[in-house]
Amino acid sequence: MSSGSLAGEDNGGAAPRYVGALLRVVWQWVRDQMYAGVVAAGYDDLNAAHIGLWRYPGLDGLRPSQLADLAGITKQSVNDLLGHLERHGYLVRVPDPADGRARVIRLTSDGRRLEQTIYAEAGAAQLRIAEILGPRRFAQLHSSLDLLAERFTEATEDDHGSPAWHPAVR
């Protein structure tokens, strides 16, 4: 592999296919599979944006501002989505014991069932990817992504002791 192809430049004159763009395509497919599975499981009161809020290791215990940073959307958008989830009985927002001015998200029993469904659908999407790649290539992909996630999680931490780029992963 030439250094140009490592930088995404040696592509016969076509636009480069950078790793980030390729990962985005796969991630969007996984999100579509998760949402379709959630709807098939009977959660017809939600849209893809609601499901998109779920990130590893989950919503429970996060502040809405942390979730906004994690999801890469505005605090107002997160609070609108959380309001819908709260009105439909999936979560509540309660005072943060560490800072009474802030709120934290707590899942209800319905919210935990929804979370289990989302994670089951994510697992099914992962199995489909493993079928496409085969065991060896899937193991390489998984271990490479695991290494990258570990390295990037070691990034500079914010005042709360969480990685600045991903408040929910430690």
Question: What Cα–Cα distance (Å) separates residue 99 from each residue in 96, 144, 170?
Answer: 5, 38, 21
Give the residue with greater pLDDT, 161 vs 112. Answer: 112
Residue-wise pLDDT for 29-42, tens only, equals: 999 999 999 999 99
Residue 4, pLDDT above cutoff 70: no
Sign of CA dihedral 80, 85, 89, 93: negative
Domains of the chain and any CATH numbers: 44-170 (1.10.10.10)
Partners of 95 in beta bridges = 103
Question: What Cα–Cα distance (Å) separates residue 163 from each residue in 118, 149, 153, 168?
Answer: 24, 11, 6, 8
Residue 64, pLDDT above cutoff 90: yes
Q: What percent of the chain has pLDDT over 70?
A: 84
pTM (2 d.p.): 0.80
Helix, strand, coil distribution of the chain in percent, nearest 5 = 55, 10, 35
pLDDT of residue 167: 44
